[in-house]
């Protein structure tokens, strides 16, 4: 235990993130917008710089040293990501531009696989990235979207979920953790219910991947999507894990180079997994840096990260509940480090703008989850969200400045 305690040195960790040392409007930066994107440790930044300086060459296509080395890095990253989420094979790891593209890929493939009148089940708490792709399928292919309701605490009503299935249900697509409420959904139970009806499940893991240990085999997820930038890796790269039995049957999402085995003007033969879904030059620099980010997390240890972030959430919640007329949205028992809130008589945008002047970065608006925000009768909310480099002292400063801002705005 002492060894683990020594490993989690918050001051040393903060030194790994150079952006945290800067000042905003003369005030130390307090970054509480981690659900939108996480900051990058120096090892990731250095990895990107190193690769552009020493190993920048297109992969899979060259016989020269740089190309071979870049290819090796890219495929090693794929293997590391497969191991990170316990995927059975690296061939089931598809590189995409992020969670959004991963979900679009699955939606596109299912749309072309099933007939008009098919149904997809999503939930009330989905990010737009897990609503709009299915709406396009609904509009262009005649599908129907069914929605799992939630209660006022922010829990899915699973009894109602089971009632949504029919013989037309082709897939369930649902978030692991809500980016607004912080609710940690029981995705294992959700998957088990769907599988009992022979329906596959796609999990949007954008918010979960940095805050939970994900094991796709234990979950028995058919698809699991996540982004690099939410997990301390670069922007513009993401992952779709998919079971081979589905990926083998799917037709490619996009066409171009790399995803082909051979091309003539009469016929194209597509490449094997995972390459048939990776059209064009992949972001081989970011994939290697993605691996670096995951190694960094594993060196710290997920048990320590989860415990530390849970303590931050509990402390911030306790202190915010003392503020008059402040309402927190999302009070589920199983919750991650996100607090969305409003204060009576204060517009969330005004509050976020004033806090920014004190060096505190929060999020305001509908958080790309407009149906969920409107469910609570709001047009928008203020949101703070934690990473393991945040501190209790930062929460104290946030609370102090929040009270000052409210005196001005109320």
State the pLDDT confidence band at 7, using cuts at 50, 70 and 90.
low
- Full-model pTM: 0.96
Query: Where in the sequence is the domain holding 349, given as residue range(s)?
Result: 2-31+302-409
Q: What is the pLDDT of residues 199-228, one digit of tens each?
A: 999 999 999 999 999 999 999 999 999 999
Together in a domain, 241 and 381:
no
Together in a domain, 124 and 204:
yes
Q: Name which of 171-185, 209-223, 259-273 the model is least confident about.
A: 259-273
- Looking at residue 370, its pLDDT comes to 97
Together in a domain, 54 and 27:
no
Q: What is the pLDDT of residues 286-336, one digit of tens each?
A: 999 999 999 999 999 999 999 999 999 999 999 999 999 999 999 999 999
Together in a domain, 25 and 121:
no
Together in a domain, 11 and 135:
no
Q: What is the pLDDT of residues 101-136, one digit of tens each?
A: 999 999 999 999 999 999 999 999 999 999 999 999
Q: What is the pLDDT of residues 221-259, one digit of tens each?
A: 999 999 999 999 999 999 999 999 999 999 888 888 777
Tally the C-alpha atoms within 13 A of residue 135's C-alpha that lie toward its C-beta: 8
- Looking at residue 271, its pLDDT comes to 74
Instruction: Answer whether 383's CB lies under 8 Å from 8's CB.
Output: no
**Catalytic residue (one of 43, 109, 336, 368):** 368
Sign of CA dihedral 126, 132, 137, 143: positive
- Average confidence (pLDDT) over 81-102: 98
Query: In Å, what is the CA distance from 250 to each residue of 95, 140, 157, 244, 272?
Result: 16, 18, 32, 10, 12
DSSP string, 310-345: HHHHHHHHHHHTTSTTEEEE---SSB-SEEEEEETT
Q: Tokens standing for 190? A: 């959700």
β-strands 338-343, 381-385: how paired? antiparallel
CA distance 375 to 293: 36
CA 347: distance to chain centroid? 27
Q: What is the pLDDT of residues 361-394, one digit of tens each?
A: 999 999 999 999 999 999 999 999 999 999 999 9
Q: Is 368 a catalytic residue?
A: yes
Together in a domain, 232 and 363:
no
Beta strands in 149-294 (DSSP E): 169-175, 201-204, 223-227, 238-242, 260-263, 268-270
Together in a domain, 237 and 383:
no
CA distance 106 to 203: 11
**245, 273, 298: which is the final residue of a domain?**
298
Question: Exposed/middle/buried for 114, CB within 10 Å: 0-12, 13-18, 19+?
Answer: middle
- Is residue 279 scored above 90 in pLDDT? no
Together in a domain, 307 and 281:
no
CATH number at residue 190: 3.40.640.10
How many Å from the N-terminal Cα to the C-terminal Cα in the chain?
Answer: 47
Together in a domain, 240 and 356:
no
Together in a domain, 242 and 125:
yes
- Average confidence (pLDDT) over 61-74: 91
């Amino acid at each position: 235990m002492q060894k683990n305690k020594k490993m989690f040195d918050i001051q040393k960790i903060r030194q790994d993130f150079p952006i945290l040392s800067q000042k905003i409007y003369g005030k130390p930066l307090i970054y509480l917008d981690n659900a939108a994107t996480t900051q990058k440790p120096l090892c990731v930044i250095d990895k990107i710089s190193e690769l552009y300086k020493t190993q920048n060459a297109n992969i899979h296509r060259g016989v020269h040293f740089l190309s071979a080395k870049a290819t090796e890095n890219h495929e090693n990253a794929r293997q590391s990501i497969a191991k990170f989420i316990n995927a059975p094979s690296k061939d089931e790891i598809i590189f995409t531009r992020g969670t959004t593209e991963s979900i679009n890929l699955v939606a596109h493939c299912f749309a072309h696989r099933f007939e008009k009148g098919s149904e997809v089940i999503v939930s009330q708490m989905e990010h737009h990235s897990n609503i709009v792709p299915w709406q396009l399928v609904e509009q262009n292919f005649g599908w129907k979207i069914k929605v799992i309701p939630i209660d006022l605490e922010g829990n899915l009503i699973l009894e109602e979920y089971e009632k949504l299935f029919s013989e037309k249900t082709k897939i369930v697509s649902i978030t692991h953790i809500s980016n607004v409420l912080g609710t940690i959904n029981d995705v294992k139970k959700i998957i088990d219910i769907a599988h009992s009806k022979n329906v596959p499940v796609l999990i949007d893991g954008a918010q979960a991947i940095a805050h939970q240990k994900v094991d796709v085999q234990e979950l028995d997820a058919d698809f699991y999507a996540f982004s690099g930038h939410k997990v301390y890796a670069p922007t513009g790269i993401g992952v779709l894990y998919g079971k081979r039995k589905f990926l083998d049957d799917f037709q490619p999402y996009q066409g171009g180079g790399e995803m082909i085995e051979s091309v003539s003007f009469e016929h194209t033969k597509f490449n094997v997994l995972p390459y048939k879904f990776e059209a064009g030059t992949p972001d081989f620099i970011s994939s290697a840096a993605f691996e670096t980010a995951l190694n960094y997390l594993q060196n710290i240890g997920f048990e320590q990260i989860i415990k530390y972030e849970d303590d931050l959430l509990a402390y911030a919640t306790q202190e915010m509940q003392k503020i008059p007329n402040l309402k927190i949205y999302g009070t589920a028992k199983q919750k991650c480090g996100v607090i969305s809130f409003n204060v009576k008589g204060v517009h969330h945008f005004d509050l976020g703008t004033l806090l920014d002047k004190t060096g505190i970065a929060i999020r305001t608006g509908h958080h790309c989850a407009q149906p969920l925000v409107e469910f609570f009768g709001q047009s928008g909310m203020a949101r703070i969200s934690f990473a393991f480099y945040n501190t209790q002292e930062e929460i104290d400063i946030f609370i102090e400045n929040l009270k000052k801002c409210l005196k001005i705005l109320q």
